[in-house]
Chain A
Amino acid sequence: MRRRLVLPLLALLAAVLALPGLATPPLPETPAPVRGVLYARPFTLDAPFRYDWSAEHPEVSSGLVLVLEADPALLRPRETQEPVLFVGALPAQRVTRAFESGRVVVLVPGPVDLASDPVWFGTPGLPEQVDATTARAERGLAARAAIAPVGRRAADAALAKGGPPARYASKTELLQALEALAREYGAAP
């Protein structure tokens, strides 16, 4: 019953935003999968930080750095609702804002198993308003839309690309390390 209500609403939103007279490209339909996980590397931090990209604001001292490939329209900055990028149980932090290449560097808090946790773009909104309940519902929508995890082989390939876990003193040091990664994958502006 819930599915039958929510999906038509999303379709209606996409349809209305596609009406003529708007120069900003319409929002792609969601939930939508990413095209690929190009890179994955676990990290730990000596000093945890408060995570702004969810309503619960967990303290983050470990996680995963990913480089994703996706439809650029899903990554395009918008002032109103943007599709929320989920990895597993939480919205992921988009570290890079450039969208034309379709590549984005993201930071995923906490333990994530790419073989079993899906990566997808959910209902447009604000990551800071996503709580665990919303995230679970979004995950359900993704599953019903047949968005599956990338699988063990792809996960292992991405992790192999990323290399061994990295340790950083702080989030600042982590972000500094990601600069080169963004350039390497064409995710920098």
Chain B
Amino acid sequence: MTRHRAPAAPSGRNACYLLVFPLAALLLASPPAALADPAPGSVRVTRTGNTVRVSWQAGSGPYGVYRSPDPTDVVRPAWLAGATQQTFYEEPVAAGIAPISFYLVDDPQRCVSAADCDNGINCDGVETCGTVTPVCLPGAPISCNDGDDCTADRCVEATGGCEYASLGCDDGDPCTIDSCRPGGGCFAVVDPDAGIGTAAELAGRSLPSYPHFEFTAAANQGTPVELAVDPSAHPAVTGQTCDVYVLAKRSAAEWCAGTALADVRGAPEARTFVAGGVRDNTFALAGSASLSPVDGTAIGRGYDLALDCNRNGTLDAGELADGLSDGPGFTVLRDLTQPGPLAVSQFDDIGPEPPHCSGGGNDDMRIYYPSVLNDPGTTGTYPLAVISHGNGHCYDWYDFLGRHLASFGFIAMSHDNNTVPGIETASTTTLTFTDKILAQQATLGGGVLNGHIDDTRIAWIGHSRGGEGVARAYDRLVDEAWPATQYSARDIAVISSIAPTDFLGPAQSDPHGVPYHLLYGSADGDVCGCPNNAVAQSFGLYERATGARQSTYVHGADHNDFNCCGFEDFSGPAGSAIGREEAQRVQKVVQLALLKQFVERFAPAKDIFWRQWEAFRPLGVAAGTVVVNELREPPARRSFVVDDFQAQPAPGTSSSGGAVTATVAALAEQREQETGGSFEWTGSEPMNGMTRGRNEDLGRGVVFEFAQGSPGFYELDVIPLARDFRDDTFLSFRATQMTRHPRTIAALGDLTFTVTLADTGGRRSSIGIGAFGGGIEEPYQRTGYGAGTGWQNEFETIRIRLTDFLRDGANLDLGNVLSIRFDFGAVYGSAEGRVALDDIELVKE
């Protein structure tokens, strides 16, 4: 360790001294006693692992700590590492880097008026001269995001105004068909008439029963990927021996530019396709378990698949390929419980209001960011994730999550949250801290974030009261025109609430149409989902979300498993606790995948949120951990809602107007809301166990039961105008077992049943949902609130690819579907049960 006094003040400033230390330095002795700021004797330099931390006690200022490579030109905003009221600066180091010089500069750049601070750039806002401390403050960059994925937005420097141009998705290439997808931006597919292969689903996994194969978008690293061809769908391949290529993902334009095939495994494999069914033509792709999932900060790597049946090394007309578009054929996901590829740095911005994390002050935040930003030459922007803690919690309780997100290319910020007065104050804190980090990026952490925060891609994550606070904050942006200066509702890409409270109800705690996610632990002893307390029922917020929505219900996790340090509040049966470490593994997976899905439009991440957890458990999560997934597509992708049970209260008619017939017992259409204050089954409350909203929430569904030896069905006719399913991708619905009901208890376990499509010609095709693994999960076996065992009802989404109903030449006309039927009983799945259904619809990918 060495320390040098600066030989002279840097030009134009009252520079006090120069700190130079080699990387091995651990401690810097006190600075000269004559220095007043920061606090004399408090400056320290420590190295822990690969991180060097310069810390000091704040003192009175004004001063700046600059990390400068040039002793003759110290005071540049980009080099500011700390300022008055800040107390430390951290950065990672790597072997071989030259010594770093830090300069403590007393009384840095002052100003008299805003004119002194004008940098001449219109689009970065109007710089001002601080009124408390007369230093230049950056302006608020002009936000031109109109929230429309199909316009290109920009600030015009000459005027400082915004310009919105229709996104030119047409790439001018006649070989591609280009379109703009709301929520997805420009997307191109290869023109089927271009003579470049034939688009087909090929990658997925085999199933133990009909439809025998599931075409999927994602696979886990280390798991073999299978390829299947259904000869009835692609009769031309029968009898052919084709070279099967696994290719690096190509865009549609890249396919058009070149059809030469190059297998990432080194060579293609030859496969012969035979007459018969899909099972006869299913193969594990050789070496697929070794395919790399690494692709920068993405959570997986995309691949395309091609069958070169004339074996000439190019994809020719009529040859099948999976991925003839801008999307991949399939994606190999990495272990998302493990850190991403980027080194992470963090710093605290501590405000003047004490005490730290103990009430009173609400002006502290901790920021996590990719360490590459410490290099002043780094360019590029990163999306922002804001974390708003719960009541009695602290902003420094989410290191595990903030660092995880930053390692995958996010700038994450966890802030003090003013939760004790209530949700309104909590939401104000979320709103203002989001403004703060954007407005002050030029100075926070020495300006290390400056210009690197993408203020059009913001995710809000809130826990508990903070989880409701983020929904309320969004509602205030939308309904009450909250005056955010740096961003608008359009910049909020997704919200994730962890076990949120519901103090304010639908009028105020409303996620509206923003993509919304709910993470919840079934053993929550605080926001417990208790039947007598609407405030403690998190799913009300989920039900209000009108856009894309997804929930992750984790069995055996409690409220504070999702932070580092909260009370032990586990409230479940002995032996069912999964523990904080495991709960956080699940949390890291789903919140990272969520942000990648909605902030970075990484579509394959969606598989994590709807496929049966038993069949597609993320790497790194324990085999015994039970997770129940629920997902609903945004309205633009709901191509036909057969029945959401909202518009038509008569049980004999669906909300789309078709006839409904049923032989199941005890059928009732009602609000999905428990009203008795108890989970005990009394026989008088059909929707017992539903905790899906307050009295003002109007979500409805259908509930019924079936007994041993008494199978039954529930069948919905499809209205004539909607009978053509050929352009749709999935049949989607959600179902739940009804807690504590004798028939649920009698057959405790995953509940399964069979779904049948019938066409107008009387032809039928059926799929048992058990084929995909799992089924509808049994309720978490928690007691309380009346006699019996079983906690709140757990809706789970089932999606069946419509073409699965055609598998192996099933005689069904998807262009004329007459009815959708659900059959229950031993022949069709579980022998008995009580089940609720909702949101039966067709969706388009």
Q: Which positions in A face B, CB cutoff 8 Å? A: 13, 16-17, 19-24, 52-53, 77-82, 93-98, 126-129, 171-172, 175-176, 178-179, 182, 188-189
Contacts and interface: CB of A to CB of B under 8 A. Distances in A.
B64 to A, nearest CB: 21
Contacts of B182: none
Interface stretch (B69-77, B292-300, B565-573): B565-573
B784 interface: yes
B804 to A, nearest CB: 41
> Which of A80, A81, A127 is most buried by chain B, counting CB atoms within 10 A of its CB?
A80
B418 interface: yes
A9 to B, nearest CB: 11
Contacts of A97: 357-359, 392, 420
Given A22-B571, A96-B359, A77 B392 contact: yes
B358 A189 contact: yes
Given A20-B784, A79-B526, A175 B353 contact: yes
Interface in B315-360: 352-355, 357-360
Contact of A98 (B358, B424, B464, B567): B358
Contact of B677 (A16, A82, A172, A176): A16
B578 to A, nearest CB: 15
Nearest to A19: B784
Contacts of A98: 358
Interface string B528-552: 1010110110000000000000000
A31 B533 CA distance: 19
Contact of B525 (A23, A171, A172, A189): A23
Nearest to B392: A77
B525 A22 contact: yes
A94 B418 CA distance: 11
A79 B501 contact: yes
Given A23-B569, A182-B355, A95 B784 contact: no
Given A79-B559, A80-B535, A178 B360 contact: yes
A171 B362 CA distance: 12
B782 interface: yes
B422 A94 contact: no
B782 to A, nearest CB: 6
A77 B357 CA distance: 13
Nearest to B363: A172
A77 B424 CA distance: 17
A21 B571 contact: yes
B391 A79 contact: yes
A126 B423 contact: yes
A26 B353 CA distance: 32
Given A23-B525, A24-B567, A80-B536, A52 B784 contact: no
A188 B390 CA distance: 19
A188 B464 contact: no
Contact of A24 (B358, B422, B526, B533): B526
B528 to A, nearest CB: 6
B359 A94 contact: yes
A19 B785 contact: yes
A95 B362 CA distance: 11
Instruction: Kindly list the 3 A-B residue pairs having the minimum CB-CB distance in the complex, ordered from nearest.
Output: A77-B392, A21-B784, A126-B422
Contact of A188 (B352, B355, B361): B355
Interface in B750-803: 782-785
A24 B357 CA distance: 21
A128 B421 contact: yes
Interface of B is mostly: loop
Contacts of A178: 354-355, 360
Interface in B578-616: none
Given A128-B425, A179-B354, A22 B392 contact: no
B465 interface: yes
Given A24-B526, A126-B422, A78 B391 contact: yes
A109 to B, nearest CB: 13
B503 interface: yes
B364 to A, nearest CB: 12
A4 B535 CA distance: 24
A57 to B, nearest CB: 10
Contacts of A175: 353-355, 360-361
Contacts of A17: 530, 533
A19 B679 CA distance: 12
B558 to A, nearest CB: 8
Contacts of B391: 77-79, 82
B442 interface: no
A172 B354 CA distance: 8
B532 A80 contact: no
Contact of A127 (B359, B421, B499, B783): B421
B527 interface: yes
B579 to A, nearest CB: 14
A81 B355 contact: no
B2 to A, nearest CB: 37
Interface centre among A13, A20, A79 (most CB of B within 10 A): A79
A96 B360 contact: yes
A178 B359 CA distance: 11
A176 B784 contact: no
A73 to B, nearest CB: 13
A80 B527 CA distance: 6
- Max chain B Cβ within 10 angstroms of own Cβ: one of A21, A94, A96, A175: A21
* Residue of B354, B418, B423, B536 contacting most chain A CB atoms (<10 Å): B354
B353 A96 contact: no
A188 B358 contact: yes
A24 B677 contact: no
Contacts of A179: 354-355
Given A16-B532, A79-B526, A97-B359, A21 B783 contact: yes
Nearest to B359: A97
Contacts of B783: 20-21
Contacts of A171: 353
Given A23-B570, A79-B527, A128 B424 contact: yes
21 contacts: A20-B784, A23-B571, A24-B525, A52-B421, A53-B421, A78-B392, A78-B526, A79-B465, A79-B501, A82-B420, A93-B421, A95-B359, A96-B355, A97-B358, A98-B358, A128-B424, A128-B425, A175-B353, A176-B352, A178-B360, A182-B358
Nearest to B527: A79
Nearest to B468: A79
A152 B392 CA distance: 34
Interface in B150-188: none
A128 B472 CA distance: 14
Given A16-B532, A128-B422, A175-B360, 15 more contacts: A13-B532, A17-B530, A21-B783, A22-B528, A22-B571, A23-B558, A24-B571, A77-B391, A80-B536, A82-B420, A127-B420, A175-B354, A176-B352, A178-B355, A182-B358
A80 B569 contact: no
Contacts of A82: 391, 420
A148 B421 CA distance: 25
B349 to A, nearest CB: 15
Contacts of A23: 525, 558, 568-571
Contacts of A126: 421-423, 503
A171 B418 CA distance: 15
A82 B573 CA distance: 26
A79 B464 contact: yes
A98 B503 CA distance: 24
Contacts of B359: 94-97
A77 B784 CA distance: 22
Contacts of A95: 355, 359-360
A79 B390 contact: yes
A178 B361 CA distance: 11
Contacts of A22: 525, 528, 530, 571, 784
A24 B355 contact: no
Contacts of B360: 95-96, 175, 178
B569 A24 contact: yes
Nearest to A128: B422
A101 to B, nearest CB: 12
Contacts of B784: 19-22
